[in-house]
Amino acid sequence: MKEELNELEKSWTDFLKKSKNLKDKKKEIFKNIVLCNEKKINICNKYVESLKVYKKYDKEIYNLKLLLQKWKKYLYSIKNENNSNEKKHEELKSQIEQIKKKYALLIEEIKCIEEKLKREKENLTAKELETLANLNMTYEEVVSKLNDIINQQKMISTYEQDEQKYNNLITLIEKHKENVDNKKKEMEQLKINIQEKEKALQNILPSWSNKINEYIHFLNYNFFLFMNFINPFYGGKIELVRTDNSYEKCQLFIKVKFKENASYLPLSISHQSGGERSLTTMLFILAIQKLTKNGFYVLDELNQGLDYSNEKKIFELLTCLSNPKLYEEYFAHSYEYKYIQIDYHSKPQYFILSP
């Protein structure tokens, strides 16, 4: 125990010694920290003062930069002007060289003219030389005189050209007159031909109109009988309406009725139903059959839009049309046709296409 206590005392004394040393070291460190802070404060003060100084220098530098930029722009504009001036200078040089060349050529031409004048003067007679010496005219007056002479020559040439044009126009007019005379002759001949054709037409028209009238009569009679065959109260008419004798603007009207005391009305959407119109169209087509010479007929969807009774009567009508005896029994014509031929004894075949 004593030994332990002794060790403890030693360690305690050591600790106290070390703590004293620590305190001394803390004091030294604190002194050093104070010194460092003072140095820092001094450095900061110096930095602030230096910044103030640098701020002044920065403003001066910025101003100098602006001046440099201005001078650069000015130099750039001067360079551009210098380049443009150099180009103008080169152009002027080239122009001067061209003028010099022209001047040299003119001098050579003047020399040649002077030599020609000398040669021409040598060929002149004494009188011509006297008149030339007595000629009181300037160079400009001589040039104007020459221009007047040249203009007179041009006028003479234009007069000659106008004369040629006039002669050409006269020839064209004469040719046009000949063409007009020929056309007049052709027109007269055409008029004669038209008159002859009209006379021939007048001769043909009566027989042709008689044929048309008989065709219409046959169609009208057949159509009425077919309508009456379908139903005793049904009726039908076919009328040809024309404005003049030439049949140029004629119209064919189909008129029907589907009641006993009803009046005949033209075939149209506003007057008849769809079934009535399809029945009328079918009977009109069948009424024409005897005027043709065909061995067979193809009827597509004959019963479209028809009721049962009308469909049945249509098929009975077809059997009558294909049998001459039945046709004469039901649809014989008492009228004697003089201008058209009707084949009552034909036996056509009917092919009916139905869905």
Dump the DSSP string for 181-192.
HHHHHHHHHHHH
**What single DSSP character describes residue 246?**
T
Q: Report which of residues 354 and 289 the model is more confident about.
A: 289
Beta strands in 152-310 (DSSP E): 235-241, 251-257, 265-266, 296-300
Pairing between strand 296-300 and 349-353? parallel
Confidence check: pLDDT of 134 > 70: no
pLDDT tens digits, 81-95: 888 888 888 888 888
Question: What whole-number distance in Å separates Cα of residue 90 and Cα of residue 83?
Answer: 10
Neighbours of 277 (CB within 10 A): 17
CATH at residue 277: 3.40.50.300
What's the confidence (pLDDT) of residue 10? 73
Which residues touch 233 (CB under 8 Å, ≥6 apart)?
258, 259, 260
Residue 31 lies in a domain: no
Contact 297, 353 (CB under 8 A): no
What is the mean predicted confidence (pLDDT) over 298-318? 82
How many domains are contained in the chain? 1
Residue 292 lies in a domain: yes
Confidence check: pLDDT of 322 > 70: yes
What's the confidence (pLDDT) of residue 236? 92
Which residues touch 288 (CB under 8 Å, ≥6 apart)?
219
- Of all residues in the chain, the percent with pLDDT exceeding 90 is 3
Which residues touch 274 (CB under 8 Å, ≥6 apart)?
305
Residue 145 lies in a domain: no
pLDDT tens digits, 194-235: 888 777 777 777 777 888 888 888 889 889 988 999 888 999
Residue 222 lies in a domain: yes
Residue 321 lies in a domain: yes
Q: Report which of residues 186 and 335 the model is more confident about.
A: 186
The residue segments making up the domain with residue 311 are: 207-353
Residue 13 lies in a domain: no
Residue 296 lies in a domain: yes
The answer to whether the Cα torsion of 168, 174, 178, 179 is positive or negative is positive
Residue 28 lies in a domain: no
What is the mean predicted confidence (pLDDT) over 46-73? 81
Q: Report which of residues 14 and 97 the model is more confident about.
A: 97
- Evaluate if pTM is beyond 0.85: no
Q: Looking at the chain, how many residues does it have?
A: 355
Question: What whole-number distance in Å separates Cα of residue 283 and Cα of residue 150?
Answer: 96
